[in-house]
Chain A
Amino acid sequence: MGILEVKNVNKRFGGLQALGDVNLSVAENTVHAIIGPNGAGKSTLLNCLVGKLIPDTGSVMFDGQSVLGRSPYEINQMGISRVFQTPEIFGDLTVMENMMIPCFAKRDGAFELNALNSVGNQKDIIERAEHMLEDMNMADKRHMHAASMSRGDKRRLEIGMCLSQEPRLLLLDEPTAGMARADTNNTIDLLKQIKQERDITIAIIEHDMHVVFSLAERITVLAQGTPLVEDTPDKIKGHPKVREAYLGESA
């Protein structure tokens, strides 16, 4: 049994079958890529995993517990963190503050009325956030306004924020979309390093095959809302069905 089990998930938007009978099993401590042409339903599937969308039918189990019907914050507290297609960070706050917030969420849970203590006195949180910033190579940027950083740095910060929660499953939706080559390679290196250093399962949606083949141990190909094949990267590379799905899209 994988840490994430998706069974018979269907999702319709009006007349459009965005997901049709999706079955997916992500094994613990692997990097699992989900690829497919535009409009294949990859983001829709991901949204069903984190509570943004509720599937019409089917089940989504994380570590033996159903995530369906729970709100995003509850699912996150179960151990699933999500990185967005465009970096979602707290633009008005400093880099350090950005990093402290997930640390508070990890320590205090979904809500804590901690209104009379000073942030400056929360030694454990500060230490943890600083440690994470060093891990992410961003310690020198700690006082910067998060919004004023480059896209690559924002992505790096967002990944760091997710990691500081020590999630068991990290979901990434096209983490390198719109990035320059150098930033893309940095992100690949960062993810490789993360995988090496800790026990974590990563599910990644990606268009860039360079990224996919650098990282993934398993690949699921999604086309028109249905998984076509699931296999190791080597097998996927030459798979006729995969070629067809991509070529059919571009033809």
Chain B
Amino acid sequence: MFGLQKKDTTLLLVVAALALFAPFLLNPFPEGSAMAQFNAGYPDLMQRFVIFGIFAVGFNILFGLTGYLSFGHAAFLGVGSYSAVWMFKLLGYNVIPGIILSVIVAGLFSVVIGYVSLRRSGIYFSILTLAFAQMSYNMAYSVLGNPTSNFNLTNGETGLQVYTSDPQILASAGAPDLPHLFGLTMRSSYQLELGSWLFTFNAGYYLCAVLLLVSFYVAIRIFRSPFGLMLRAVKSNQQRMNYTGLNTRPYTLAAFVISGMYAGLAGGLLSTMDPLAGAERMQWTASGEVVLMTILGGAGTLIGPVLGAGFIKYFENIFSKINEGVLHAWFGFLPDGLENGVIWVVEHFVGPGWHLTLGLLFMLVVTFLPGGLVEGGQKIAALLSRRKSKDTDNRATQSTPAE
């Protein structure tokens, strides 16, 4: 189907089903129960899952296939965000022009950065991309964002946002005063109450989810194409490629630009969900985050980056919300002295300490599962099927001893 092999079609359909039913799947616990804080099925977080999923899927086309590790992809995310907000300011709140422009501008931007950075490989490439991204961050924060100058592209510290004085030349009279898709605002949600469960279906989330599916589909096509094969060849042996009559430079540049456009799309969607773009989106921590997502999920695999993005965003939003009060409620059954001791320990791993938990998990995964969460899944699947095939082997040898 869709020009894909059976295995890939299945994968795409699974991702589609997960995206469609995410509001149910992510809200397994009833409202008001002690576990409810582990529910992730609220619009804001679900949007983040898919947006950063898009970001990581694109990053993986560069890093997973060619092995070029960019430490500056947040620059494209930021550029995409600013572009979308500019469209809201100039044309109006319909999200289509913003999303399109964010992809185009990020693409152009990545042609320039990629052209220069790809003259080097390995650590020098990474450092160059990092330098470019930090430069972009500083420019966005100060030089290009001085509110008193005539050339204020980014609105500096405050962040770029839409003011009532903005032209919005395409905005029709009755159009909502929020990002919308032909009148359907991104904030609009439908809530479904089933017993003590509450499920929220949000328009913005579903827009992002559709775009994630499209992005994922394109990524599968690229992975299976001759172009994808060449990118894997770049990672494997550039010398052999050159002496086989292949010019590696345009291959790596194309991969860089494609992944930059994915980042731009993700940035544009962030602004679409919340029309305020700040420079911090370009900071090196944001670039590092997408690296973590990709490696944690499984670089070079199709589904890995999506898993990694979900995993990290879940931690960031759920673990960081567990505070002392919550811990007291959990460990209240323990004797007082012990309770305080346990809480003192656990406290360092939750709330603002969630980074510590994530760091430890990352270390564990990289050490024991270099192929990321996907490798973990494969190992479990292999264990299960080995057990199963042992059974069938036994049966087979009994029935057909000749084999």
Interface residues of A (CB under 8 A from B): 50, 71-74, 76-77, 81-82, 84, 88-93, 97, 100-102, 104-106, 108-120, 122, 125, 161, 165
Contacts and interface: CB of A to CB of B under 8 A. Distances in A.
A48 B135 CA distance: 41
Contact of A102 (B232, B244, B251, B258): B244
B144 interface: no
Given A115-B221, A119-B226, 19 more contacts: A71-B242, A73-B247, A74-B245, A76-B242, A76-B243, A76-B244, A81-B243, A90-B232, A92-B235, A93-B232, A97-B229, A104-B226, A110-B245, A110-B246, A111-B251, A115-B258, A118-B3, A119-B225, A122-B226
The secondary structure that dominates the B interface is: helix
Nearest to A117: B225
B120 interface: no
A72 B230 contact: no
Interface of B: 3-5, 221-222, 224-230, 232-233, 235-237, 239-247, 250-251, 254, 258
Nearest to A77: B245
B240 A92 contact: no
Contacts of B241: 73, 101
Nearest to B249: A111
Contacts of A120: 5, 224
B56 to A, nearest CB: 19
A105 B248 CA distance: 12
A73 B242 contact: yes
B246 A73 contact: yes
A92 B245 contact: no
Contacts of A112: 226-227
B232 A119 contact: no
24 contacts: A73-B242, A76-B242, A81-B243, A81-B244, A88-B237, A90-B240, A91-B236, A91-B237, A93-B236, A97-B232, A101-B241, A102-B244, A112-B227, A113-B250, A114-B226, A115-B221, A115-B222, A115-B254, A116-B221, A119-B228, A120-B5, A120-B224, A125-B226, A161-B244
Contacts of B3: 118
Which 4 A-B residue pairings sit nearest by Cβ, starting from the closest?
A76-B245, A115-B227, A110-B247, A90-B236
A51 B48 CA distance: 49
Nearest to A122: B226
A112 to B, nearest CB: 7
Nearest to B225: A115
A71 B249 CA distance: 12
B243 A104 contact: no
Given A76-B243, A82-B243, A104 B237 contact: no
A106 B233 CA distance: 16
Contacts of B233: 90, 93, 101
A88 to B, nearest CB: 4
Contacts of B228: 115, 119
A84 B243 CA distance: 10
Nearest to B220: A118
Contacts of A74: 245
B298 to A, nearest CB: 15
Nearest to B251: A111
Contacts of B258: 115
A84 B229 CA distance: 22
B244 A117 contact: no
B242 A104 contact: no
Nearest to B248: A73
A112 B231 CA distance: 12
A118 B224 contact: yes
Contacts of A161: 244
Given A100-B229, A119-B226, A111 B246 contact: yes
B236 A92 contact: yes
A91 to B, nearest CB: 6
Nearest to B67: A92
B243 A101 contact: no
Contacts of A82: 243
Contacts of A165: 244-245
B137 to A, nearest CB: 31
